[in-house]
Structure 1
Amino acid sequence: MVMKNFIYISTLIISFFCISCEDVINVDLETGRPQIVVDGWINNKFESQKIRLLSTSGYFDNTTPPYIENATVRVLDLVNNKTLNFTYDSDGYYTWTPTTLADTLIVRQRPGDFDRDGDGLYDNYYKLEVSVVFDNKDLQFESYTSLERVPSIDSLFFQTSKGDTEKDDQIYGELFAKDFAGPADCYWIKTWKNDNFLNKSSEMLLAFDITPGRSDYGNILTQATPFIPPVRLGINLSISEEEDERGEKNYEVGDSVYCEIHSMTEKAFDFMSASRSAMANGGLFATPLANVPSNIVASNKDAEGMVVGVFCGSAISSLGYRINTKPPYDNRKL
């Protein structure tokens, strides 16, 4: 039935272009059942930890998805046998704040306790538990994560790519850090320009060991190894043709640049990779839309198929830099 509907809609679109450029075709799409979306990222910082719960909405609905305000949200610290109770704040966010530095979340030691089978059961890990009445059903679901090791950022280095004229010169940056030796490590590298987060799908920088995608380097590296250029250069802006025509610059003298490396589990890496592909998906021959596989599972029968999203823990390293003078020229072209 789904394929027949797809063929039918595709036929309507083709007919539309063949017959008229002004006629409007209204396609009545059936609305699927609502689901709960979990945006759960916790970290090792001495700050409020946040987990957000939303409800899905119609594909053509441009309003903010409904917030889930009536849930019971907790994270179990299975190392210290403690329960972290998250309380509702606003805009779908549930928060818990460590009282002291000793209460901050634990980064798992590796590779001594490394669990290669990927079942999420580590020597120190965290379990998310959520219960909520939603769509007239009592739903319960759970997920596991650990906080993996993260490398420090050695430096942020900037150079100038020479253009046809000085006005066409472009300043670009590189992030230098070394991935650990041993089993696979996954990272989400985030960049801010003048306090503005680079949030395009094309600017989502993920690394699996030293590369942008899954690799076998984790089984090969015997010493700390620098990220390869596609990762190092990923802190630069993705400038569209329209932005280029408007004179949008990558970086300029006076800009501040701030970068963070967030460690991730392999399951979270796969989720974010699939999410990035889905966000960049488009065009006449785009892949049909589908939910990105989640690492959150139902704890009771009513919750089956009712939750999407991700729960992940991160250790974070960071470094900032201000471009006070024009960097030296480099012969490479961006």
Structure 2
Amino acid sequence: MKIVYILFLPLVLLFTSCEDVVQIKLDEGSKLYVIDAFVSDLRTDQVVRVTTSDSYFANREAPPVQNAIVQLVDLSTNVTYDFSYTSKGNYVYSINTADTIARLGHKFMLKVNIDGDTYTSIAEQKRHSVIDSIASYYNDGSDPFANGPQGSYSCLLFARDKADNIPDYYWIRTFRNDTLFNGSADLNICIDGTGGVVTNAPVDTIAFTPVATFLGFKTYKENDVCKVEIHSISRETYFFFYQAIAQINNGGLFATTPENIKTNISTPENAKVRAIGWFSMAGAVTKSKVVQ
């Protein structure tokens, strides 16, 4: 046995001496402007975020663009809404609680001027869904298929879509006590409230179905507030989210070649810096429930 130990010792020394730190240097590429503009008709402050791209390993918030001129133009009424800079790249339009800047069926142009170059995008306001209620269920431990640990609550959404062979695309946002669930697994999208387009329905409305109605399988405590927003988005925005989900989950043995997420922001022909990002107009409905 002593011979075995003597032979093994040099191997241990060999492998432990090879633990060098490798510094990976990536090409940072050209600077890009990143424009995130998800506007809705909710009577809350509307925010457009303008930042610049950062290096791959940068462990910090994206550098803000502080000198942009951000405007939203209602092309149906020729009314312009001016957004004001606050902080961290956020440009805000404060809405009167009795009004909204979004109108059903109207087309809107987003204009972001940076150093004389105007970046634009066009989107249309979509029709609303209907939220009937949010139900909460207590897990007493008797159901082996219940969501979450014993003593917790789960919430279920009851909502409806218009059945008329015109597909509707939805983005469902869920909050616990006003905190948005915004993890990579929390992006909840659906078509006609279901897993796909519904045609020739024999009823006037289509009930939303799982998995969308499970609200991300989140759990709550008694007296928590579950809040839901359903944003009616365009087909293009739906597939923007769909691509984002695919790229987030693109890993493992059968991973495909990564691809750039699409953008609907137009860059002027002679601009020195290209812009990426997404602009969406949404008709949104919301409802809250105290969990009991």
Query: TM-score per shorter chain, which class?
Result: 0.7 to 0.9
> For residue 224 of structure 1, what is the aligned residue in structure 2?
205
- Superposed displacement of residue 175, structure 1: 0.3
> For residue 189 of structure 1, what is the aligned residue in structure 2?
172
Classify the secondary structure of the residue corresponding to 1:261: strand
Classify the secondary structure of the residue corresponding to 1:155: strand
When residues 100 and 81 of structure 1 are mapped into structure 2, their CA distance, relative to the original with a 3 A threshold, is farther
Stretches of structure 2 that go unaligned for 5 or more consecutive residues are 1-14
> For residue 147 of structure 1, what is the aligned residue in structure 2?
125
State how far apart, in whole Å, the 1-side matches of 2:254 and 2:114 are: 39
State how far apart, in whole Å, the 2-side matches of 1:284 and 1:202 are: 20
Classify the secondary structure of the residue corresponding to 1:301: coil
TM-score, normalising length: structure 2: 0.83
Preserved CA contact (<8 Å) 2:42 2:100: no
- Superposed displacement of residue 295, structure 1: 1.4
When residues 86 and 130 of structure 1 are mapped into structure 2, their CA distance, relative to the original with a 3 A threshold, is same
State how far apart, in whole Å, the 2-side matches of 1:99 and 1:156 are: 27
> For residue 159 of structure 1, what is the aligned residue in structure 2?
137
TM-score, normalising length: structure 1: 0.73
- Give RMSD over aligned pairs: 2.6
> For residue 278 of structure 1, what is the aligned residue in structure 2?
247
Amino acid at match of 1:315: G
Q: Percent identity?
A: 26
Classify the secondary structure of the residue corresponding to 1:271: helix
State how far apart, in whole Å, the 1-side matches of 2:154 and 2:44 are: 32
Amino acid at match of 1:308: I
Q: How does 1:30-109 map to 2 (within 5 A)?
A: 30-98=27-95, 101=98, 104-108=101-105
Matched, 1:172 2:154: yes
State how far apart, in whole Å, the 1-side matches of 2:75 and 2:207 are: 34
Stretches of structure 1 that go unaligned for 5 or more consecutive residues are 1-18, 109-123, 238-249, 325-334
Classify the secondary structure of the residue corresponding to 1:309: strand
Amino acid at match of 1:228: T
State how far apart, in whole Å, the 1-side matches of 2:89 and 2:36 are: 10
Preserved CA contact (<8 Å) 2:170 2:193: no
> For residue 327 of structure 1, what is the aligned residue in structure 2?
none
Q: Which has the larger radius of gyration?
A: 2
Classify the secondary structure of the residue corresponding to 2:220: coil
> For residue 215 of structure 2, what is the aligned residue in structure 1?
234
Preserved CA contact (<8 Å) 2:171 2:190: yes
Structure showing the higher strand proportion among its residues: 2
When residues 49 and 194 of structure 1 are mapped into structure 2, their CA distance, relative to the original with a 3 A threshold, is closer
> Which of 207, 210, 214 does residue 190 from structure 2 map onto?
207
Provide Cα deviations, 1:69-111, integer angstroms capped at 9, x if missing partner.
1112211111111122222222111122345845532122xxx
Tell me the matched-pair count: 271
State how far apart, in whole Å, the 1-side matches of 2:216 and 2:131 are: 13
Preserved CA contact (<8 Å) 2:41 2:100: no
Amino acid at match of 1:290: E
